[in-house]
Amino acid sequence: MRSTRRLEIAILLLFASMPFSGQTSAQNGENSPVAASAKVSSTQKPGGTAARLSAIVASGRLEDLRWPNFSDYRLHLVNFYRPSGYKLAWVRDGEPTPQALEVIQILQGADREGLRAEDYDASRWADRLKLLQGSHDSADEALFDAALTVCIMRYVSDVHIGRINPENLGFEFDVSHKKLDLPHFVRERLANGSDLHSELAGIEPPFPSYQRLRTALLHYMELEKGGDGEKVLDVGGVSPGGQYAGIAGLTSRLRLLGDLPDSVKIPPDAKVYEGPLVNAVKHFQERFGLRPTGELDYKTVVEMNVPLSDRIEQMQLGLERFRWLPYQFKQPPIVINVPEFRLYAFNDKNEVGLTMRVNVGEDYSHQTPMFEGNIQYLVFRPYWTPTPNILRDEIIPDMEKNPSLQDQNLELVSSSGKVISSGNVTPAMLQQVRAGQLIVRQPPGPENGMGLVKFMFPNQHDVYIHDTPASLDMFSEATEGEEGELKRVASHGCIHLQYPDKFAAWLLRDTPSWDSDRVEKAMHDGRDNLQVNLAPSVPVLIFYMTVVVEENGNVHFFHDIYDHDRTLRQELALGYPYPK
């Protein structure tokens, strides 16, 4: 009823600065005597509202908005209003519809979705609603209607496919095939809808990991309300059992972040770093990609003292990237999270059936690209043919210094595959290599650059998943970086596996006659360059998330090894309209 609507408007005015997440219970208005007596004054001219709406839409700009330029959505607004003859969608008889009030609540709660509520005019709706409550004209209603349409269209698109086009940042994920028919969705599902929250939930990323991250974000937002608290004291490093003057601050921080349960009591006058505190620090270190030694070293203290606002922003960036991903896969995918240095293989139940550590491309100079592909086949005991860049920058200079192919475990072959030389390289041969007339390759074996098996998903980057040469141990403590940070960045962009045999067995688990024993034999005693095709191919997703939430709720943060977080943060700060 109309009186109910007016009550809702009053509530929105009162709590306009608060984030909303609940649903409204308003129903469509009825012409009751009470509603009639409460009707506001609206000065209308025949056709005036439609003309004003049409003019606003045609201009692609509305100065009353936080981000006035909506030229990138102008055509969507044309297709939204034109079928009805530019009839108001959110205002009836001079008042906002129940759907309009619910949409405003949703926009005001955008922070809870990892978005920025102010991007959708969160603090401006109170004044707009107040204006509609008093005497107003058709221009006010047209402005209100257009503003709400622009804001909700932006919100719907942002929740569904993200604000930033990933391809603009070098992430090769095509979101165009996921795009909604915005005019239809907003008109039929929202402006004329009955359960707006459910409609919007249906266009969010469908991944459980997305929902876990969103839940963690809400938790950290609540933590931030209480402040960061006392910083952890840095005294240059403390070993378990050592004296430490910052026990109280450390205890408080570990409790705040969830690494030290409230049930564990630490004496307020404690001076020795030991017992439960050491275990809690190890838990923290594990969550932040550090060696879980329990040492209260510089890197650990720095990570502990990162403001909660920074962690919240990190989660917001993660939610943004989730929206770039394909929402459906033809087969259970392989997902590689580069900052985590980890591979996840999913089964038919969308559960993680296999996981392992990986090694990725070196920082900056040989970054592993972010894209999706399909693993089409495996090659056991493969040859390795260096990429043009590696050949030019590394192999040829090495040959100039040392012409012995045997020393470098290389051979020269013709375009037909005939071995020309495995001895010394002559100047004439080297010139043929430079001209592309002779091919440099590494024969199969344990010291091959691909190891004993490679997994092929043809792509423009010549990036593969593969084994590691036997003499190169990439997964021991020797590969850890400074200050105890686990560091797995040592390739030219390819992805090295911790357990290539297990990964091969996983991919071939439904292939007749292939089991783990046959995989082991193919790797160590089998025929050279044996190709095994996968039918069907298996989707692989190389992605970048610096925060991951486990099923048990543990939140893991990882180092922004390629500065992709920083770049995304800068792009989002520019505001609308974002390049599409």
The domain limits of the chain are 2-165+175-204, 247-306, 329-380+452-545, 385-441
User: What is the predicted pLDDT for the residue at 47?
Assistant: 64
Q: DSSP readout, 112-172?
A: GGTS-GGGGTGGGHHHHHHHHHSSEEHHHHHHHHHHHHHHHHHHHHHHHH-SS-GGGGTEE
Residue 151 designated active-site = no
Residue 283 designated active-site = no
User: What is the predicted pLDDT for the residue at 477?
Assistant: 52
Angle at the Cα of 32 from the Cα atoms of 28 and 37, rounded to 5 degrees: 110
Which single residue is written with the structure tokens 């100047």? 427
Segment-wise mean pLDDT, segments of 10 residues, the chain, 580 residues: 48 39 34 33 62 97 98 98 97 97 98 98 97 93 98 99 97 95 98 97 97 98 96 95 97 97 94 97 97 96 98 99 95 97 95 96 85 98 88 89 89 87 86 90 91 96 90 59 47 88 97 94 95 97 98 96 97 91
Q: Give the residue from 63, 182, 70 showing the smallest Cα distance to 124.
A: 63
User: What is the predicted pLDDT for the residue at 284?
Assistant: 98
User: What is the predicted pLDDT for the residue at 225?
Assistant: 97
Exactly one of 160, 283, 494, 559 is catalytic; which is it? 494
pLDDT digits 0-9 by tens, 254-281:
999 999 999 999 998 999 999 999 999 9
Strand-pairing partners, residue 411, are: 441
Q: Which two tokens stand for residue 366?
A: 């040989």
User: What is the predicted pLDDT for the residue at 231?
Assistant: 95
569-579 burial, b for 16+ CB within 10 Å, e for fewer?
bebbeeebebe
pTM of the predicted model, to two decimals? 0.87
Exactly one of 283, 466, 496, 564 is catalytic; which is it? 466
User: What is the predicted pLDDT for the residue at 471?
Assistant: 64
Domain 329-380+452-545 has CATH 2.40.50.100: no
pLDDT digits 0-9 by tens, 47-76:
689 999 999 999 999 999 999 999 999 999
User: What is the predicted pLDDT for the residue at 243?
Assistant: 97
| Alpha-carbon distances, residue 170 vs 162, 362, 370, 424, 457 (angstroms) | 15, 17, 7, 42, 19
CB 383 within 8 A of CB 441: yes
